[in-house]
Structure 1
Amino acid sequence: MKHRPPWPPRAGDWYRITNLADVAEVVIYDEIGWWGTTAEAFMNELREITASQITLRINSPGGDVFDGIAIHNLLRSHTAHVTVHVDGLAASIASVIALAGDRVVMEPHSQLMIHDASGFCYGQAADMREMADMLDRHSDNIAGVYAEKTGGTVADWRERMRGEQWFSAEEAVAAGLADEVGQRRDDGDTGDEPVTNSSTWDLAARFRYPGRAAAPAPVLATLTPPAEPAAGPTESDQEEDSMSTLSEGLRERLGLSADAELDDTALLDALDEALAERADDTPAEPAPAPAPEPVAARLPEGMVVIDQAALDELRTQAAQGVAARDQQRAEARDRALDNAIAAGKFPPSRRDHYAAAWDADPDGTRQLLDSLAEGLVPLADLGTPGREDTLSGNADFDRLFSTPGKDA
């Protein structure tokens, strides 16, 4: 799923819409959106469809993420009942368009592929990080489409997408991405051989695998069913165990042998006798309650008690210290940038750029400025207005723009 095309477009549409009375046909048999025809043009033609049913036929390796998502939503919001037929390949963002159908049919030998969004970026580390975050957002959005169709989770589908998974027609149905495999004309056809794409797409250059035959088997289960709880003891078993435990506890406390043959009545008589003997004894003087331990003694080692006022004062001082430190850093940054501009290391128009780089990485930016040669940006005036020798006679102009080795 590419974010932007890396090569010049070619002429020609990548889809065709035929508006018939009862069933309209939409055919997408090329890359999505890269070649000059936008989702806006697709929308304008789709609006003209008055049929109650749309048959969408797909054979595409994918293309632009934004156009693909827009087409998916346009089809979902149309009043017609949409039936999708994956005739050959629905890869990358084309698989998202396929899932816009009210019913998705994988034709025999067809394939469906999912993977994380990809894109192209040129710039510094901050630009690369921003691009990576944007691609993650796109991939989560796409995973949400798969999860909505299958009942799985976004996290589950992102895990599958990272590995680039290819599904045969039967595997796509088993994974919940499609509803059925189309009927074969030859009942003896087993469907083991993948479809042969007659287009000029170089799938090996586009994706990690060139097709289902070269890819590992996909993960088909969308949700792991919960394990059946182990059979526990019945209510009668629990009651019997409780009575047995109570009887053993009474024998132990009364000093009776566990082997003594006593029924419940004899056991209760022994309990009454023990209670009567205890009632005759003079109760011992209760021991005085220990003095409460000081709060400081209960604190972990290295911690002290401080009142609220002192704590508030410390917090105020800390905030002031942070503000002072930030001001010092800003002043040091401004001095360094001013000195670099004065030395002709970069033009004043790039000051905001280097200021942002300094805030993100002060040490790295300082080293970069130190490595720049002085005088890269001319500081002297290139001639004086109104003089005939403003350009041709100005030494700075000759130094900057004349051809080396050529007489003036």
Structure 2
Amino acid sequence: MIDSKIRDKYERLNLLISSPGGSVFHGISLYNFLKGAPIDVWTYNFGSVDSIGVVIFCAGKKRLSVPHARFLIHGVRFNLSGNVIFDEKQIEEHLKSLKIDQQNIARIIADTTQKPINTVEEDMNNRTTLNPNEAKDYGLVHDIQSNLFPIDADLSVIGENIQQLPQGMPFGITIPTIQAFTRSQDLDVGTF
């Protein structure tokens, strides 16, 4: 979906995000893709941007929120279900992966907000919840506004909420719910 908008020479991709979070792997991959894509990306919180959704939100060159929204920053975890058996090396491998994911998320948020990484790590450990004004003070949000897009905007769904993996899988993940609209030259700052 995004690649076709880039091929069609759209100047800006506007991502409307409301997400309970989900897969760290998919979230960081999407963040890296959006940051490296040859298109301006603006992100909008139109409900709740939680967990890995915050990382995706950070991909926006311009980051906006509606007045009645929230952000949740927390640490990384993994879920076990059923009779999962690990040997010592597997536990070590999972712990290393968990720590690297935690560091990557903290670095992304710190780079976006210009906050020291140790402050972000502490906020992650404290499971920090921010309203839009607090998120603006934090550096996550540039502006708070009610109007998200003009009536003639091209709306496209680029992600769907996917439920837990089948029973017996060691890690339950969900893909963040992301809706996008794209529009080229007629969307500028202050248009909304």
Within the candidate set 97, 105, 109, 1:134 is matched to 97
> Do structure 1's residue 175 and structure 2's residue 134 form an aligned pair?
no
Which stretches of structure 1, 4 residues or longer, exceed 3 Å deviation after superposition? 43-49
- Correspondence for 1:63: 22
Cα deviation per residue 1:155-198 (whole Å; 9 max; x = unaligned)?
221111112111111111011111111147xxxxxxxxxxxxxx
**For residues 138 and 53 of structure 1, do their structure 2 counterparts lie closer, same or farther at Cα, with a shift above 3 Å needed?**
same
In 1: Cα distance, 2:129 partner to 2:74 partner: 9
- Whether contact under 8 Å (2:71, 2:131) holds in the other structure is yes
In 2: Cα distance, 1:48 partner to 1:120 partner: 39
In 2: Cα distance, 1:116 partner to 1:127 partner: 21
Within the candidate set 104, 121, 124, 2:63 is matched to 104
Cα deviation per residue 1:21-40 (whole Å; 9 max; x = unaligned)?
xxxxxxxxxxxxxxxxxxxx
In 1: Cα distance, 2:4 partner to 2:22 partner: 20
In structure 2, the residue corresponding to 1:63 is in which secondary structure? coil
In structure 1, the residue corresponding to 2:107 is in which secondary structure? helix
The alpha carbon displacement at 1:78 in A equals 2.0
In 2: Cα distance, 1:89 partner to 1:49 partner: 30
RMSD over equivalenced CA pairs, Å: 2.3
The alpha carbon displacement at 1:144 in A equals 0.3
- Correspondence for 1:76: 35
In 2: Cα distance, 1:46 partner to 1:89 partner: 26
- Correspondence for 2:52: 93
- Correspondence for 2:156: none
The alpha carbon displacement at 1:45 in A equals 4.5
- Correspondence for 1:144: 107
User: One-letter code of the match for 2:33?
Assistant: L
Matched ranges for 1:114-263 at <5 A: 114-120=73-79, 122=84, 123-183=86-146
Number of residue-to-residue matches in the alignment: 146
> Do structure 1's residue 54 and structure 2's residue 17 form an aligned pair?
no
Cα deviation per residue 1:196-243 (whole Å; 9 max; x = unaligned)?
xxx9x9xxxx9xxxxxxxxxxxxxxxxxxxxxxxxxxxxxxxxxxxxx
Matched ranges for 1:286-301 at <5 A: none
**For residues 64 and 45 of structure 1, do their structure 2 counterparts lie closer, same or farther at Cα, with a shift above 3 Å needed?**
farther
**For residues 125 and 95 of structure 1, do their structure 2 counterparts lie closer, same or farther at Cα, with a shift above 3 Å needed?**
same
In 1: Cα distance, 2:68 partner to 2:77 partner: 27
The alpha carbon displacement at 1:132 in A equals 1.7
In 2: Cα distance, 1:172 partner to 1:163 partner: 15
The alpha carbon displacement at 1:47 in A equals 4.3
In structure 2, the residue corresponding to 1:113 is in which secondary structure? strand
Identity among equivalent pairs (%): 25
User: One-letter code of the match for 1:150?
Assistant: T
- Correspondence for 1:235: none
The alpha carbon displacement at 1:97 in A equals 0.5
In 2: Cα distance, 1:63 partner to 1:112 partner: 14
In 2: Cα distance, 1:63 partner to 1:47 partner: 26
User: One-letter code of the match for 1:131?
Assistant: H
The alpha carbon displacement at 1:80 in A equals 2.1
Write 1 or 2 for the structure with the bigger share of helix: 1
| Gap regions ≥5 residues in structure 1 | 1-16, 18-42, 185-198, 207-408
User: One-letter code of the match for 2:97?
Assistant: M
- Whether contact under 8 Å (2:73, 2:128) holds in the other structure is yes
Q: Which has the larger radius of gyration?
A: 1
In 1: Cα distance, 2:4 partner to 2:29 partner: 14
Matched ranges for 1:302-381 at <5 A: none
| Gap regions ≥5 residues in structure 2 | 148-160, 164-171, 173-192
User: One-letter code of the match for 2:71?
Assistant: L
User: One-letter code of the match for 1:54?
Assistant: L
The higher-RCO structure (CA 8 Å, 6+ apart) is 2
In structure 2, the residue corresponding to 1:109 is in which secondary structure? coil
The alpha carbon displacement at 1:124 in A equals 2.9
- Correspondence for 2:190: none
In 2: Cα distance, 1:134 partner to 1:109 partner: 35
In 2: Cα distance, 1:84 partner to 1:45 partner: 19
User: One-letter code of the match for 1:96?
Assistant: V
The alpha carbon displacement at 1:108 in A equals 1.3
In structure 2, the residue corresponding to 1:155 is in which secondary structure? helix
The alpha carbon displacement at 1:69 in A equals 1.1
Cα deviation per residue 1:26-84 (whole Å; 9 max; x = unaligned)?
xxxxxxxxxxxxxxxxx654544521111110011111111111111111122222211
User: One-letter code of the match for 1:57?
Assistant: L
